[in-house]
Amino acid sequence: MLITELSADRLCERGRLYIRKFFNGDDEALAQELYRVKRRDEDQLRGIREREFGTGMHQKGKRERDMEKEHLDEVKRRQKDYAFDKIKKAFYGDDGVARNPWSENVAETMFWM
């Protein structure tokens, strides 16, 4: 294995540790926030379907089932986008500048962690 591959593996592991709380559900407040965002998006898209196809018990046609699948995919995409925006803010802050956890002396160099 090349040294660069070893370095990349370690860098990826370090990155994974930085964003761990966004995927493990360890942070209750964050988990609740992501759940609220998911429910908001589901409710919004359900409203679109209900306006188009009505409410109550009825047999769903192909178009309605297709729209449900599209909306499910859209909710997943929105959740992912929301989480990654939060991750970016955690890493870069509101000013968009990356947080360098190491000395400024190594900011522009390759180094071993």
The residue that leads in pLDDT, 35 or 108, is 35
108, part of any domain: no
Spatial separation of the C-alpha atoms in residues 12 and 1, rounded to whole Å:
16
| pTM for the structure as a whole | 0.69
Q: How confident is the model at residue 21 (pLDDT cuts 50, 70, 90)?
A: confident
Is residue 54 over pLDDT 90? yes
106, part of any domain: no
17, part of any domain: yes
* Residue-wise DSSP of 9-71: HHHHHHHHHHHHHHHH---HHHHHHHHHHHHHHHHHHHHHHHHHH-SSS----HHHHHHHHHH
The residue that leads in pLDDT, 81 or 11, is 81
User: Structurally, how many domains does the chain consist of?
Assistant: 1
104, part of any domain: no
Full domain range(s) for residue 72: 3-51+61-96
73, part of any domain: yes
Nearest Cα to 92, choosing from 82, 81, 104, 100?
A: 100
